[in-house]
Amino acid sequence: MLAAVNRLRSATNASLNDFIKLAMAVCLLAGTSSQAAEERAGDWLTRIGARVSARAISCRYRFLLAEPQPWKELAWSNVVEQTQGARAVGTLDINSAKRFPVTMYVRHCDTDLAGRHFSGVGIRLAAESTNAFPVEIELILSLAQGDWRYYVQDLYTRQKAGEASRLPAAASYNNWQAKRSPLDFAAGSRGVYVARLDSLTHMFSSGAEFVPGKGLVLHYKFTCPSAAKWRTPELSMLLCKDRLDAAEQKDLWCEMFLQESQRFRSQAGIRREEVLPMANIPVDGGTPGCAPRDQLKVRGTFDEFAAETLSLCTKLNYRRVLIGSPWISYRTEGMTVKAMSTVTYDSRCGTIDVEVSPRYGGRAALRRFCDAAHARSIEVFAWYPAFHLANCSRYLTEHPEWIIRKPDGSPFTMSYFHITAISPRLEAQQHFLKKLKEVKEACGLDGLWLDSYNDMPFLTLDYSCEQGVEHCQAGVEMVKRFQEIGLRVINEGYSPFGVRGDGETTFFKGQEDMAVETSLFTYWTNLDKVLENDGYFRFLANKAPLTVPAPYLSAEARPAIARWNAAFERVVPFMQHRRLLPNDQGVLWSDGAGVAILFAYKDGEFEVEKGNFAYDLIEAQRIAARDNRLAVRRSHIYKISKKTE
């Protein structure tokens, strides 16, 4: 190891790849012989493909000025050994006159995750002086040729799990705060590779691509604000040497996904929200895709809306109903607007004021609706414009400082024409929190479905302040504040902060095992496709109950859905650890305390431990095992434990 240390000290002009190679040689092997050190370091580096090329790991940066600048290579010098790793200094150059120093800290990571041992390096970047301009810094890692499989939960990656060679040859970035699963996961015959962050409170995104000659290439991008001596979260790149089959890989991904999500919630002081099936029956008629176009209109007051809506929820055993937007909006005011380049309609998404509209009967009618729902054990969720308002809202003119702005000073709107993004900072949200608390107390509302939560606070810097500041911390803290006033949270996105509620469900059809801990939004136009081949049941089996336009469920589908919904509500508390059964037989969950939940995809037999009892929740009857073999039926749910029902 002394040889490795000496090489590290002398690497004053090493490339980042060489620097990390040397750091790994030191970090992995404290307390072992020199020969063992070199062998272990070499083995790890071989497995992640670092010896494929001298540039297996690279680093680049660009400043975010009025226009994003060209990418530049970030070179490192002054490598210094530290107790558990090393550090090096690089320079961010705007031009020859303006340069900002940045330090990279590398340390050895050795940890147990989901019952398996991982080793690797942690990398953190820090500005050593106040950086006047925002900057993006990207680390690029090539995992080399091999049979890597890549796993991700997001909306637009069509292949959520599969061979890396089938990934498109262009990296698709998504941020970890709200747009994709909060870890990177790849596995193959060389082991399991995982990347994780120690915090989700700063803008961070990643992407993956398959590049011929380089294999699976992973991109990690930090977006750093201006006017700050920033310090990025630590990115750990880890490897486990265990070789797993495809089902074991998915189950390990699932276990780590659930653990990492809970870790980030705990850090933020946010409680975990349970996932349950939900009926989408909007009093406002919904948005395009929620219903036929001629039904996109106000359906009356909550008094007129209640009887049919709650009766349907009861018949189908939905214990949650999404009532759409009760707020004063373009739709309630009869205003037709251009929402997107090809979409013009009276959008309910353009909220003018966070107040229950008189068109729906005001607060008194919503109170009566919520009381009637609660009498049937149904929770009431309202659509809510988390961080945007209609362009005509008086708050935008009265408080222009609330508006998130682009570098040219214009309001940030994503791709929409009719709304404007507002900051998640407390000073901008305090008024709306007060109004929500009033509505909660006056009407009994149970929860919020946060519209565009994945877009507004996490995808852009805000140029209304300095040269660009981030709002990730504020966006996360708002979920905590919603919970503190007694509201449950479903977010439109893949954020661990609240139930993940983004759509469209068809993007997970056939890949239901990657939709874990979601309540995906299903459009009526795709409902039949989603229901094919017991699709609804398969989503439930993977702890991904759907949000569906219940009035458009076919008469044929309703009896089974009602039985499945009732059974799922009873078993979801026990669904903590997942195992995919071989040959597509089904999914087995356990609570770690002796209770197992079986979702059977096929008729067949299932082996149970001696002394266990089984209860069929669909037939509501106890099932006897013969010779520890349980006869199971397709699309049935079973609770298995030492106790009888």
Per DSSP bridges, beta strands 184-188 and 215-224 are unpaired
Question: What is the mean predicted confidence (pLDDT) over 569-586?
Answer: 98
Question: What is the mean predicted confidence (pLDDT) over 426-433?
Answer: 96
Total number of residues shown for the chain:
645
CA angle 21, 59, 242 (to 5 degrees): 45
CA distance linking residue 549 with residue 554, whole number of Å:
11
Q: What is the pLDDT of residue 411?
A: 95
Name the strand (E) or helix (H) holding 259.
Answer: helix 246-268
Residue-by-residue DSSP string for 204-216: EEEEEEEETTTEE
- pLDDT beyond 60 at 41: no
Q: Where are the domains of the chain?
A: 2-268, 278-502, 577-641
CA distance linking residue 635 with residue 258, whole number of Å:
25
- pLDDT beyond 60 at 15: no
Q: Is 185 exposed, middle or buried (0-12, 13-18, 19+ CB in 10 A)?
A: buried
- In the three-class reduction of DSSP (H, G, I as helix; E, B as strand; rest coil), residue 139 is classed as strand
Q: What is the pLDDT of residue 40?
A: 44
- pLDDT beyond 60 at 331: yes
Say which DSSP state 552 is in. G
The pTM of this model reads 0.92
Q: Is 532 exposed, middle or buried (0-12, 13-18, 19+ CB in 10 A)?
A: exposed
Q: Is the omega angle on the peptide bond into residue 504 within 30 degrees of 0, that is, cis?
A: yes
- pLDDT beyond 80 at 267: yes
Q: What is the pLDDT of residue 21?
A: 52
Q: What is the pLDDT of residue 56?
A: 54
Q: Is 158 exposed, middle or buried (0-12, 13-18, 19+ CB in 10 A)?
A: exposed
Q: What is the pLDDT of residue 177?
A: 87
Higher pLDDT, 482 or 147: 482
- Mean predicted lDDT score pLDDT of the chain: 88
Strand partners, 462: 469
Q: What is the pLDDT of residue 18?
A: 53
Please, are residues 120 and 100 in contact by the beta-carbon 8 Å criterion?
no
Q: Residues 203-231: pLDDT tens digits?
A: 999 999 988 877 888 999 999 999 788 99
19-23, 172-176, 466-470 — which is least confidently predicted? 19-23
Name the strand (E) or helix (H) holding 434.
Answer: helix 426-443
CATH of 278-502, one of 3.20.20.80, 1.20.1250.20, 3.40.50.300, 3.40.50.1000: 3.20.20.80
99-103, 172-176, 417-421, 558-562 — which is least confidently predicted? 172-176
- Using CA atoms of 618, 619, 620, 621 in order, give the dihedral in degrees to the nearest 10: -130
- pLDDT beyond 50 at 35: no
- pLDDT beyond 60 at 48: no
- The amino acid at 26: V
Question: What is the mean predicted confidence (pLDDT) over 269-295?
Answer: 95
Q: What is the pLDDT of residue 33?
A: 35
Question: What is the mean predicted confidence (pLDDT) over 276-296?
Answer: 94
CATH of 577-641, one of 2.60.40.1180, 3.40.50.1000, 3.30.1280.10, 3.40.50.970: 2.60.40.1180
| Other beta carbons less than 10 A from residue 372's beta carbon | 17
29-38, 144-153, 185-194 — which is least confidently predicted? 29-38
Percent of the chain clearing pLDDT 90 (strictly above): 70
CA distance linking residue 365 with residue 302, whole number of Å:
5
Say which DSSP state 484 is in. H
- pLDDT beyond 70 at 27: no
Token pair 């147990």 is found at 112
Question: What is the mean predicted confidence (pLDDT) over 362-367?
Answer: 98
